[in-house]
């Protein structure tokens, strides 16, 4: 099953790309809800490069590493990666003053399609809020 989520960010594509691929930014936006956070992020943004985000419940009750390997990187346009035996594609569609970010990924069997879609969409919504906040503070 392939699942797709998307958002539109009102910002130049360079800003959107940087926020999506910079470890400090990832730590700021990579959570599906306010009771979770990303405590560490590593990015080696090149084909064959590894990535990892340590996601933890803020109460310390649970945590996991979301990790994988980049298989294709086209700056400001596309990132493809594997995580376990699954794949994902992130597309950055530049439309001048706004960028559509579309993420499609292979679903897994332990959670419903709706749960997975809702969680990944929440993270992408957090990303869009993060970029908007960065621009507002400049």
Q: For 71-98, how does the pLDDT look when each residue is reduced to its tens digit (9 = 90+)? A: 999 999 999 999 999 999 999 999 989 9
Torsion of Cα atoms, 9 then 103 then 49 then 75, to 10°: -40
Query: pLDDT (tens digit, 9 = 90+) per residue, 1-39?
Result: 999 999 999 999 999 999 999 999 999 999 999 999 999
Q: Which fold has domain 2-33+75-136?
A: Alpha-D-Glucose-1,6-Bisphosphate; Chain A, domain 4 (3.30.530)
Question: In the chain, where are the structural domains located?
Answer: 2-33+75-136
- Supply the pTM of this predicted model: 0.94
| H-only helix segments in the chain | 13-21, 23-29, 113-136
């Amino acid at each position: 099953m392939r699942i797709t989520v998307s958002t539109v960010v009102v910002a130049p594509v360079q800003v959107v790309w940087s926020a999506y691929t910079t470890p400090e930014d990832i730590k700021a936006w990579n959570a599906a809800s306010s009771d979770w956070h990303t405590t560490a992020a590593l990015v080696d943004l090149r084909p064959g490069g590894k990535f990892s985000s340590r996601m933890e419940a803020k109460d310390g009750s649970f945590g996991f590493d979301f990790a994988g390997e980049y298989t294709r990187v086209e700056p400001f346009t596309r990132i493809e990666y594997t995580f376990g035996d699954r794949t994902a594609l992130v597309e950055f569609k530049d439309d001048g003053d706004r960028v559509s970010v579309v993420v499609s990924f292979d679903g897994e069997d332990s959670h419903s399609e709706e749960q997975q879609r809702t969680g990944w969409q929440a993270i992408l919504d957090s990303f869009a809020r993060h970029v908007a906040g960065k621009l507002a503070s400049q």
